[in-house]
Structure 1
Amino acid sequence: MATPTTEIVEPKREDSLAVRIIPFVDRYGVLLIVLAMVLVSFALEPEVFLTWRNISNIFRQIAFNALLALGEFLVILTAGIDLSVGSTLALAMMTVAVLSKAGAPWPLVVASPFIVGALVGIVNGLGLTKLRLPHPFIMTLGMLNIARGLTNLISGGVPISGLPTPVRFLGAGDFNITSPTETSPGISLPISLFVLLVTFLAVHLFLQYTRTGRHIYAIGGNPQAARVSGINVNRTLVLVYGLCGMLAGFSGLLLAGRTNSGFPNAGLGQELDAISAVIIGGASFFGGRGSVLGVFAGALVIGLMRNILNLRDVPVFWQQVLIGVVIITVVYLDVLRRRAGSANA
């Protein structure tokens, strides 16, 4: 009688490299990208890049995109997307300009973009949950056109300049660290950077230390399990889209202050930069994963990339090509990370 033999099946070694590398990239990847961008930028433009004026300009330029990205991040955490943030920015910005021109008191002017942005976001959330649309792409794509149309209607399609001092202070003001002298221009940081840091800190605390923040992560991880566990998914989604819209309105306020005007074509395509910053910062398109610090780093990467390309006089069209390549690469890394997680499970 033949003795039965036991066949030893070796574990699949497929994706073994990904299993080892992806966790490291997952934890430190965006910081390595920022460091690499700084080193490359310094090597290409050593006399300009590290000047205080250029550094201040980088932070001023990323402020409004970082706020857009922060709102987009909240939506992506729920495995959603908001394509209307650029148009919401423009609508909020033109609301500021129209109210200023009409002679409205400055507290109302400053509050208006938050109100307009929140209303747009709440409509997005209600449309998604009440109409039971199959994906937020549909609702927010429609809102992209609605908000852009309203922007042109209230402005007549023409820019409006001349905004109150508090608005200009938020978008273009500086905090002097050292006073200028005859031999030195002094050191200053944009007020918009301090506003940005406070906002990011507030959202971080909200996500990490509140029940609603934990619910947002849970919905992105598994919406059905979240419902079963007693989370009011629809209400949370409306809140998330409302916050996203409000942050887009805030972004419009900073941009209006920076340019001392409102112009109806503001924010065109800006939703793509916001989504890019979120994905580069390590958030997953599949939801339930990401951090506020990563979003800030992602926005900084986009800002550094545009800064050095501008310093090198690279045409804006090639900038779009490069950012598109970066997005595809980062999303592919996200896919590899998920495969590595499945292999370890």
Structure 2
Amino acid sequence: MKPFANIQNQYADLKKMNSKEKLNFWKEFLIDNSLYILLFIAILYTYFQNHRFLSTSSVINMISLSAANLPIACGIAGTIVLTGTDLSAGRIVGLTACMSAASLQAVTYATKMFPNLPVVPIPLVILMVIVVGGIIGFLNGFCISRFKLHPFIVTLATQLVVYGSLLMFVMVNGNNGQPLSGLDDSYKKFISGSILKIKGVPIPNYVWYGIIVVAIMWFIWNKTTFGKNMFAVGSNAEAANVSGVNVARTTILVHTLAGCMYGITGFIEAARIGSNTANTGLNYELDAIAACVIGGVSFVGGTGKIRGIVMGVILLRIIFVALNFLSVNANMQYIIKGLIILVACAIDMRKYLVRK
């Protein structure tokens, strides 16, 4: 009900304005929401070019792709709230995905990476990837908070270290960098199986896992002392420190939580993709950062909502699927993705300057 109350308040304020103030209001509204407007126009254009774009199977596909990216977006959003970022996210996803795949290959698979290893219980693998991601995130947060290093530099270094570790991992035991596939059926069903269909189109199980992650993150952000401390540190670290907030511990915990989210993403991606290589997770952090900024998580710190992150992930995924429906060249899609990030950041900074 709160969003509707805000709209009613804005409408009441608008009625009190004179013609010049109304003109400025609509000008600011169009600029602040230009990205959403352009995305809406792109959706309409794609639909008129290809009606299959909004078919049941296409919509469920977009929802599924969005759900798979929600954990990494929720994780990286916390680092952005702290006025930082995390360039290592995609490589952590790749490492945990390959670890998951190696642990859950079918025992009958001819080129099984660890031939004598039975199929590891799924809960144990989930715990493993969360711990691995959490440890890497902890190291990021520790270096940032204790050594006062910039998050860009720390996570760039971590990205290289993790990628090197991933390259060595896929070479062990004579695997020689071959794709990790042949996953056990129980793993594939756990992630990509379905308990619900809409018009005959199955909804993958990982959609529900994405929803669970969002619910947990919403609770952490909005109902815990840690969440309040995170926003306090992001808004003004010095003021938060004076108020009794342990800035170093909060920074470490935010990055540790982010690493856990990357581990969950890797676990989901391993089964969703089905064939994992050292390139799994490549540039995932860029999509996550773009989704967060589109969803209102500000790089100036202390601003962001979980529902905005979800909306940003969905809108970004819609535009990428639309580009495929329009047969836009894959190389051109990188250019468009970069422009979306640039425009979103420019709009975000403009909002900040207007508030100042």
TM range (shorter): 0.7 to 0.9
**2:249 aligns with one of 194, 214, 235:** 235
**Aligned partners of 1:37, 1:300: CA distance in 2, in Å?**
14
- Structure 2 residue 53 is matched with structure 1 residue 49: yes
Shift of 1:311: 1.5
- Structure 2 residue 224 is matched with structure 1 residue 219: no
**Aligned partners of 1:55, 1:309: CA distance in 2, in Å?**
14
Shift of 1:17: 7.0
Partner of 1:176: 196
- Stretch of structure 1 that moved more, 77-86 or 154-163: 154-163
**Aligned partners of 2:260, 2:34: CA distance in 1, in Å?**
30
Is residue 93–residue 266 contact of structure 2 (8 Å, CA) maintained in 1?
Answer: yes
Partner of 1:80: 84
TM-score w.r.t. length of structure 2? 0.83
Partner of 2:151: 136
Distance change in 2, residues 1:279/1:170 (3 Å): farther
Shift of 1:329: 1.3
TM-score w.r.t. length of structure 1? 0.86
Q: Which consecutive aligned stretches of 4+ in structure 1 deviate over 6 angstroms post-superposition?
A: 15-19
- Structure 2 residue 149 is matched with structure 1 residue 111: no
Distance change in 2, residues 1:132/1:104 (3 Å): farther
Is residue 30–residue 297 contact of structure 1 (8 Å, CA) maintained in 2?
Answer: no
Is residue 35–residue 344 contact of structure 2 (8 Å, CA) maintained in 1?
Answer: no
Cα deviation, 1:248-282, whole Å, max 9, x if unaligned, reads 11111111111223321111122111111111111
Is residue 91–residue 147 contact of structure 1 (8 Å, CA) maintained in 2?
Answer: yes
- Structure 2 residue 71 is matched with structure 1 residue 67: yes
Shift of 1:220: 0.6
Matched to 1:334, the amino acid is D
Matched to 1:335, the amino acid is M
Partner of 2:185: 165
Is residue 18–residue 337 contact of structure 1 (8 Å, CA) maintained in 2?
Answer: no
**2:214 aligns with one of 200, 204, 207:** 200
**Aligned partners of 1:220, 1:298: CA distance in 2, in Å?**
20
**Aligned partners of 2:299, 2:38: CA distance in 1, in Å?**
20
**1:278 aligns with one of 285, 289, 292:** 292
What is the DSSP-based 3-state SS (H/G/I as helix, E as strand, rest coil) of the residue aligned with 1:279? helix
Distance change in 2, residues 1:318/1:31 (3 Å): closer
**Aligned partners of 1:289, 1:111: CA distance in 2, in Å?**
31
Tell me the percent identity: 29
Is residue 96–residue 129 contact of structure 2 (8 Å, CA) maintained in 1?
Answer: yes
Distance change in 2, residues 1:63/1:166 (3 Å): farther
What is the DSSP-based 3-state SS (H/G/I as helix, E as strand, rest coil) of the residue aligned with 1:175? strand
- Stretch of structure 1 that moved more, 105-114 or 153-162: 105-114
Is residue 300–residue 352 contact of structure 2 (8 Å, CA) maintained in 1?
Answer: no
**Aligned partners of 1:29, 1:285: CA distance in 2, in Å?**
18
| Larger of the two Rg values belongs to structure | 1
Is residue 88–residue 159 contact of structure 2 (8 Å, CA) maintained in 1?
Answer: yes
Kindly tell me the number of residue pairs found equivalent between the two proteins.
319
Which stretches in structure 1 are left out of the alignment for 5+ residues? Answer: 1-14, 179-184
**Aligned partners of 1:324, 1:18: CA distance in 2, in Å?**
29
**Aligned partners of 1:176, 1:272: CA distance in 2, in Å?**
31
Shift of 1:246: 0.8
Shift of 1:146: 0.7
Shift of 1:21: 4.3
Partner of 1:97: 101
